[in-house]
């Protein structure tokens, strides 16, 4: 771990933590995927929070721990070695800088295409001589998570009572799907101990642009979601479960019934946080518009027409906290 001298953290956003509360176990949307009727709870969670936790998911622990071990090995390398896999433009190793528009956070990460087979040469070049272990762990993990994501999307279609049940899942299962995978490492920031009541932004507030994001972290806290009243809710970490985040594209596909949730990560004073997130996106050419089967009576689309390529191109020009979807709303957001 690199120990930083005092002035360094002044470059990062500090936030007051007083306005946040902890997601109580009873209030948490926890979905048991092994239960027959979970489809209705899934729909409710996507409508009310745009966020839920999944238990009894059936993902073998070996996929998870293997990847976590490989990730820890990678982030433990000297900075000069890790930087050989950078910069993240967009794929590769990134440190503190997020995206291309000046966002910074107390985080280092690997951002990868979720279709490594398609870009093996470029991907392999990040890791010098032996990317195999890491690649194998990433590929096995992504395949398993993609299946789970697809199952969740099919249950959502069932819960909404729309056909065919793969209407959402086919978008992320398509060979051309533009899905992304990210491993984040938030090193502990010991200086936080000196700043009573303040916290450092690890990953600034934002919504995820894709359809669905599936997040798994170690047992270090930090993730917060924004509630309708603008307050922040701390999500207790749970290394045995997955957290699912509704993305902007799913909000549009459901004509605003499901909400893409704003979320952020606060850095921790003492413990490292490692998170792995699969962002399931559609093919670039896919038209993103409310599903006709969901539109009732005279219901109009809340959004202008766009393809995923157009949305992504526009999103890449935005800052993390921007309301990216606002640019595509028919009635401008206030």
Ligand X SMILES: O=C(O)CCC(=O)C(=O)O
Ligand Y SMILES: C=C1C[C@]23C[C@@]1(O)CC[C@H]2[C@@]12CC[C@H](O)[C@@](C)(C(=O)O1)[C@H]2[C@@H]3C(=O)O
Which residues contact ligand Y (rule: CB under 6 A)?
90, 98-99, 101, 103, 111, 180, 182, 206, 208-209, 279, 315-316, 318-320
Q: In whole angstroms, what is the distance from residue 315 CA to residue 295 CA?
A: 26
User: Per-residue x/- mask for Fe ion, residues 199 to 238, rule CB under 5 A?
Assistant: ---------x------------------------------
Distance CA 217, CA 220 (A): 7
Q: Closer CB to ligand Y, residue 99 or residue 149?
A: 99
* Between 74 and 308, CB nearer to ligand Y: 308
The answer to whether 184 and 34 are in contact (CB under 8 A) is: no
Interface with ligand X (CB under 6 A), residue from 53, 66, 182, 262:
182
CB of 214 to Fe ion, least distance (A): 11
Counting Cβ atoms within 10 Å, is residue 252 exposed (0-12), middle (13-18) or buried (19+)? buried
Q: Considering the complex, what minimum distance in angstroms separates the CB of residue 213 from Fe ion?
A: 6
CA distances from 54 to 64, 89, 214 (A): 15, 32, 10
Closer CB to Fe ion, 169 or 184, in the complex:
184
Please choose which of ligand X, Fe ion, ligand Y, none residue 184 contacts, taking the beta carbon within 5 to 8 angstroms, the exact cut-off set by kind.
ligand X
Stretch of 47-55, 140-148, 215-223, 301-309 contacting ligand X, by CB under 6 A: 215-223
- Are 42 and 236 contacting, i.e. CB atoms less than 8 angstroms apart? no
Residue nearest to Fe ion (CB): 208
Handedness of CA 62, 75, 134, 153 (dihedral sign): positive
Q: Which residue in 216, 264, 273, 324 is the catalytic one?
A: 273
CB of 181 to ligand X, least distance (A): 10
Which has the closest alpha carbon to 293: 158, 100, 110? 158
> 278 to each of 22, 58, 95, 118, 306, how far by Cα in Å?
25, 17, 19, 17, 23
Q: Which is nearer to ligand Y, 99 or 159 (CB)?
A: 99
Element (H, E) at 64: helix 61-75
199 binds ligand X (CB under 6 A): no
Query: What's the start-to-end Cα distance of the chain, in Å?
Result: 44
In the structure encoding, which two tokens stand for residue 188, read together?
Answer: 């502990």
For residue 103, state whether it binds Fe ion (rule: CB under 5 A): no
Residue sitting closest to ligand Y (CB): 99
As measured in angstroms, the least distance from the Cβ of 151 to ligand Y is 22
Asked if 223 touches ligand X (CB under 6 A), the answer is yes
Considering beta carbons, is residue 180 or 250 the nearer one to ligand Y? 180
Q: Which of residues 3-42 bind Fe ion (CB under 5 A)?
A: none
- Number of neighbouring beta carbons within 10 Å of residue 320: 19
Number of residues binding to ligand X, judged by CB under 6 A: 11
CA distances from 211 to 98, 148, 319 (A): 20, 14, 19
- For the question of residue 273 being annotated catalytic, the response is yes
Please state, in angstroms and rounded to a whole number, the distance separating the CA atoms of residues 265 and 143.
Answer: 26
Q: Is 28 in the site for ligand X (CB under 6 A)?
A: no
**Minimum distance from CB of 317 to ligand Y (Å)?**
7
**Residues binding Fe ion (CB under 5 A):** 208
Query: Which residues participate in catalysis according to the annotation?
Result: 273
**Residues binding ligand X (CB under 6 A):** 182, 184, 203, 208, 215, 217, 223, 263, 265, 275, 277
């Amino acid at each position: 771990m690199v120990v930083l001298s005092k002035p360094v953290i002044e470059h990062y956003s500090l936030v007051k933590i007083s306005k946040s509360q902890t997601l109580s176990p009873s209030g948490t949307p926890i979905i048991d995927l092994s239960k027959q009727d979970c489809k209705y709870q899934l729909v409710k969670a996507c409508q009310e929070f745009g966020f839920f936790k999944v238990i009894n998911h059936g993902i073998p622990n070996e996929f998870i721990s293997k990847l976590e071990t490989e990730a820890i090995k990678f982030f433990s390398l000297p900075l000069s070695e890790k930087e050989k896999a950078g910069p993240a433009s967009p794929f590769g190793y990134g440190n503190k800088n997020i995206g291309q528009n000046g966002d910074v956070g107390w985080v280092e990460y690997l951002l990868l295409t979720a279709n490594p087979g398609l870009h093996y040469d470029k991907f392999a070049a990040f890791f010098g001589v032996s990317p195999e272990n890491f690649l194998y762990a990433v590929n096995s993990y992504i395949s398993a998570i993609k299946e789970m994501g697809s199952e969740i999307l099919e249950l959502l279609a069932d819960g909404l009572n729309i056909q065919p049940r793969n209407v959402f899942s086919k978008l992320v299962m398509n060979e051309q799907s533009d899905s992304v995978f990210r491993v984040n490492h938030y090193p502990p920031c010991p200086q936080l101990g000196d700043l009573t009541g303040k916290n450092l932004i690890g990953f600034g507030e934002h919504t995820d642009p894709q359809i669905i994001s599936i997040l798994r972290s170690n047992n270090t806290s930090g993730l917060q979601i924004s509630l309708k009243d603008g307050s922040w809710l701390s999500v207790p970490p749970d290394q045995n479960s997955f957290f699912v985040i509704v993305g902007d594209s799913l909000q549009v596909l459901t004509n605003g019934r499901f909400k893409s949730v704003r979320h952020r990560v606060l850095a921790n004073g003492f413990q490292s946080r490692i998170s792995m997130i699969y962002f399931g996106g559609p093919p670039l050419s896919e038209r993103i518009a409310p599903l006709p089967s969901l539109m009732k009576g005279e219901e109009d689309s809340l959004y202008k027409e766009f393809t995923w390529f157009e949305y992504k191109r526009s999103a890449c020009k935005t800052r993390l906290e921007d309301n990216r979807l606002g640019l595509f709303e028919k009635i401008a957001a206030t």
